Amino acid sequence: MRLTLEFGGGLELLCDSEKIHKVNVDLPNGAAAADDFTMKHLLSWVRTNLIKERPEMFMKGDTVRPGVLVLVNDCDWELSGQLDTTIEEKDVIVFISTLHGG
Amino acid sequence: MEASEAKSKRAGGSRLCCICNKRRPVLKRPKTLQQICRECFYEVFEEEIHQVIVQNRLFKSGERVAIGASGGKDSTVLAYVLSELNRRHNYGLDLFLLSIDEGITGYRDDSLETVKRNEVQYGLPLQIVSYKDLYGWTMDDIVKMIGLKNNCTFCGVFRRQALDRGATLLKVDKLVTGHNADDIAETVLLNILRGDIARLSRCTSITTGEDGPIPRCKPFKYTYEKEIVMYAYFKKLDYFSTECIYSPNAYRGFAREFIKDLERLRPRAILDIIKSGEDFRIATTTKMPEQGTCERCGYISSQKWCKACVLLEGLNRGLPKMGIGRPRGSVNGDNKHTKAGSTAKSIESKQCGSLDF
């Protein structure tokens, strides 16, 4: 599944200082169809494949660290069920950290 | 059919914005749990801040106001929103950007570039004041001397004064900073954790320092950090976002972590903590420090010497622990001792800034 992932608010430093990543994600074996692919799976994939250092800055347990905002197609993931949000081909997912000086 | 239903459900299409009932919601407000669209978000965000400004009578027409600008998310959004509201509602303010250069390589030099861009983008004149000029020390120098603990104590104390001195240079009547609701809730907790009753009683005031050189206020007092970031994101505002390299060792980090966990469970907690802070009453039997002025530089102080003078003295004498922590007896126990011996000698240290209050 082809997706665009963006990292902001300092998170890019965890991914080789690249803000935008165009990726091709393999569906996990457990997912019977593309409909089953959720943010939960994606986060796990990101942690394994894109986060090169200090994973605790990005995730806490199964979900993102508190203070990291997630937008799916420019829409707050709190509206679409957070971890249960289904992800589709060509989606744009943005992760913004708020944990820095203002 | 299932797929398209699922898609529209996912995008929140089955629900519409709570306010306009026309557009697709893009954000769930932590303050109210409402689901709102982009345009309504801009409106409520800006209108709420306008109401905070009006109801708390933060400004008077004709005032010169300096915005403490670091190039970070809060101060950038503050500069943008304040200039917009100033125009829209005719506050009649003369706005300036005031930036402090603490001399932290790889952090401050980058964020200052952002403020310089903000100066152009928002058309607000910029003044930069540096620790090097004011105190003769950059934060990098200070950390080299004192190590990685207590850095924020030095920086915070010096910055507060630096802002006042910058404000005096600009001849402004007032200072505004971008402290948001999350920051203030953290501060309330921090002061409780440390038993700092004096600060606890002051830290939720929206305007402080009215009896000092320059009053300062916090229009974002009730504004959630999440909304500030989302506003900046949707409006594509240019801001700098890296953590200060010395901050991982700061005690505030614990309060922040806790507040963020709390917010996840019950977003209203942040505003409720602020309310608790506002409604605290100190027992009349509690001894509170009295406010006077620093004998060395004239800045407001509850001790004989203000904290900045104490810290600076420590740095210049190679005594990095001076002014840090709480010695037995009075808070300025150290200070009395060194002052007695220093009157006859000339001190190599610079006077605390070149301006006396």
pLDDT of residue B325: 75
**Given pLDDT bands bounded at 50, 70 and 90, which one contains residue B39?**
very high
Q: In what order do the strands lie in the sheet with B64-68?
A: B126-130, B94-101, B64-68, B174-176, B216-217, B207-208
Cα–Cα distances in Å, from B290 out to B153, B198, B293, B304, B307? 21, 10, 10, 11, 15
Partner-chain contact B10 A100, CB within 8 Å: no
Which of B17-21, B239-243, B245-249, B319-323 comes out lowest in average pLDDT?
A: B245-249
CB B156 within 8 A of CB B128: no
pLDDT of residue B351: 38
When the pLDDT of each residue in chain B is averaged and rounded to a whole number, the result is: 85
pLDDT of residue B243: 74
pLDDT of residue A89: 93
Among partner residues A10, A67, A73, which is closest to B11 by beta-carbon distance? A73
Among partner residues B24, B28, B229, which is closest to A9 by beta-carbon distance? B229
Query: Cα–Cα distance between B274 and B187 in angstroms, integer?
Result: 9
Average pLDDT over residues B214-237: 96
* Terminal CA-CA length for chain A: 36
- Model pLDDT for residues A30-81, shown as the tens digit of each residue: 555 667 899 999 999 999 999 999 999 899 999 999 999 999 999 999 999 9
Q: Which residues of B touch A97 (CB under 8 A)?
A: 241
Which of A2-6, B170-174, B207-211, B255-259 comes out lowest in average pLDDT?
A: B207-211
State the CB neighbour count (10 A cutoff) for residue A23.
15
CB B59 within 8 A of CB B53: yes
Shortest Cα–Cα distance, B179 to chain A (Å): 8
A24: β partners: A2
ipTM: 0.94
pLDDT at B18 over 90: yes
pLDDT of residue A33: 63
pLDDT at B266 over 70: yes
Q: Which helix (H) or strand (E) is A60 found in, with range?
A: strand A59-60
Q: For A38, which DSSP code?
A: B
Average pLDDT over residues B120-146: 92
State the CB neighbour count (10 A cutoff) for residue B261.
14
Helix (H, G, I), strand (E, B) or coil at A46: helix
pLDDT of residue A35: 73
Query: Cα–Cα distance between A42 and A49 in angstroms, integer?
Result: 10
CB B206 within 8 A of CB B175: no
Query: Cα–Cα distance between A27 and A36 in angstroms, integer?
Result: 9
Q: Which residues of A touch B10 (CB under 8 A)?
A: 72, 80-81, 85-86
Partner-chain contact B229 A73, CB within 8 Å: no
pLDDT at B13 over 90: no
pLDDT at B349 over 50: no
Greater confidence, B320 or B81? B81
Q: Which residues of B touch A72 (CB under 8 A)?
A: 10
Q: Which of B175, B65, B187 is nearest to B124 (CA)?
A: B65
Among partner residues B75, B180, B260, which is closest to A67 by beta-carbon distance? B260
Among partner residues B28, B183, B233, which is closest to A79 by beta-carbon distance? B28
Strands B207-208 and B216-217, how do they pair? Answer: antiparallel
Strands A63-64 and A59-60, how do they pair? Answer: antiparallel
Greater confidence, B273 or B15? B273
* Terminal CA-CA length for chain B: 73
pLDDT of residue B343: 36
pLDDT of residue B251: 84
pLDDT at B125 over 90: yes
pLDDT of residue B14: 61
Average pLDDT over residues A89-98: 95
Query: Cα–Cα distance between B264 and B258 in angstroms, integer?
Result: 10
Cα–Cα distances in Å, from B291 out to A67, B167, B192, B216? 37, 22, 21, 17
- In percent, how much of chain B has pLDDT > 70? 87
Greater confidence, B4 or B62? B62
Q: What letter represents residue B284's amino acid? A: T
Shortest Cα–Cα distance, A10 to chain B (Å): 5
Query: Cα–Cα distance between A34 and A70 in angstroms, integer?
Result: 21
Three-state SS for chain B is CHHHHHHHHHCCCCCCCCCCCCCCCCEECCCCCCEECHHHHHHHHHHHHHHHHHHCCCCCCCCEEEEECCCCHHHHHHHHHHHHHHHHCCCCCEEEEEEEECCCCCCHHHHHHHHHHHHHHHCCCEEEEEHHHHHCCCHHHHHHHHCCCCHHHHHHHHHHHHHHHHHHHHCCCEEECCCCHHHHHHHHHHHHHHCCHHHHHHCCCCEECCCCCCCEECCCCCCCHHHHHHHHHHCCCCCCCCCCCCHHHCCHHHHHHHHHHHHHHCCCHHHHHHHHHHHCCCCCCCCCCCCEECCCCCCEECCCCCHHHHHHHHHHCCCCCCCCCCCCCCCCHHHHHHHHHHCCCCCCCCCCCCCCC
pLDDT of residue B219: 97
pLDDT of residue B319: 85
Q: Which residues of B touch A74 (CB under 8 A)?
A: 26, 234
Q: Which residues of A touch B230 (CB under 8 A)?
A: 69, 76
Q: For A97, which DSSP code?
A: E
pLDDT of residue A102: 65
At residue B65, what are phi and psi to the nearest 5 degrees?
Answer: -125, 130
Partner-chain contact B74 A98, CB within 8 Å: no
**Given pLDDT bands bounded at 50, 70 and 90, which one contains residue B336?**
very low
**Given pLDDT bands bounded at 50, 70 and 90, which one contains residue B281?**
confident
pLDDT at B329 over 50: no
Query: Cα–Cα distance between B18 and A79 in angstroms, integer?
Result: 12
pLDDT of residue B10: 54
Q: Tokens 């320092």 — which residue?
A: B209
Q: Which of B50, B16, B44 is nearest to B30 (CA)?
A: B44
pLDDT at B12 over 70: no
pLDDT of residue B345: 31
Is the CB of residue A67 less than 8 Å away from at least one CB of chain B?
yes
Among partner residues A75, A96, A102, which is closest to B180 by beta-carbon distance? A102
Query: Cα–Cα distance between B286 and B200 in angstroms, integer?
Result: 13
Average pLDDT over residues A1-21: 93
Kindly calculate the radius of gyration of chain A based on its CA atoms and give it in whole angstroms: 13
**Given pLDDT bands bounded at 50, 70 and 90, which one contains residue B282?**
confident
Greater confidence, B108 or B222? B222
Q: Which helix (H) or strand (E) is A43 found in, with range?
A: helix A39-49
pLDDT at B330 over 60: no
